[in-house]
Chain A
Amino acid sequence: MKKTIFAALLSLGALNLHAVLNEDVEVPYVPFEIKMGKHFDLVQANCLTCHSFGYILNQGKQSRSFWKEKVEKMVDAFKAPITKEDQALITDYLAEQYGNGQP
């Protein structure tokens, strides 16, 4: 009897190990507390396609030129289709809400 239970437990363990294999994995959504502000709607529309708000607010407080370069990197390196006009307004939002006061 003992032996059977042990064997059953073992196979259960093996099943768990392969859980990933049999069903879809669900990565949870984490509600990061992002600051509201002017042009937030553009951030939501353009940035969330590729990354969470956590990716923004965990960069720490940065200069306006840092944020400008980050937005440009998303467009130039990662090919995000963000218009010139939106790029400038998103930079304004980021410098305003997550700026360190430096130009």
Chain B
Amino acid sequence: MTTRMRRFGLYALLALVGVTMVGPLYWLFTSSLKQSGDIYTFPPVWWPGDLRWGNYAEAWRAAPFGQFYLNSLITTGSGALLEVANAVLTAYAFVFLRFPAKRVLFAALLGALMVPGHVTLLANYLTVADLGWINTYQGIVIPGAASAFGAFLLRQHMLTIPIEIIEAARADGAGHLRILFRVVLPLSRPMLITVAIVSLVSKWNDFIWPLIVTNTETMRTLPVGLLMLKDADGYVNWGSVMAATVFVVLPVLAVFFVAQRQIVAGLTQGAVKG
């Protein structure tokens, strides 16, 4: 009896946790489909009586969301590509190539992890301005194209590749580039995907840097574009504002449900096995 009650209690708790975490997202999605009559009523309407897809069209027109989408795709894609390339090359060099003072360089690489983004904001803005990159794609992308954590994760992974495999490839006359692309990268695939997805997600969500470094509507990325729906007296048309929010959230949610394992692995790396 008591164990049964205990189990019931646990399930109730589990449901409560699930509802609390998903509730706001449910509210976001359903509100994005509500008529304004359903939005401005109390008590709240849990399911829109009449789905209003027009909110999406309205949001799309309220600001140049097509342009925002394009900007986000370009900066996220190229930024993640560069970051992963840097991670791969750096990791390979540190594991498979000789160089004096490797330890010092490695420490310098990890040291970059200790510099928080907000501290570099002002100085990086000035550097980018000096380069003439304000309001450009390279201005958004390049400062975030370095990889310290990704390079570290990949290095840790590459260290586990048996040396015999590399030596066999070398005996067959393979050069370093060949070994990198034909042997090391295929063997590092799970970690490579992890690094890539985490990079994509964080760049897609990046807010403060694109906010600072762009100054015209046509260069805004999606998260920054959301701010443009704000009137002088706050946000007005909640239906279309929620629809616009869905534009931003949906791709990441989709990636998350497909690649959950990879994302969790990337974000929690180093936590438990220390």
> Does chain A bind chain B?
no
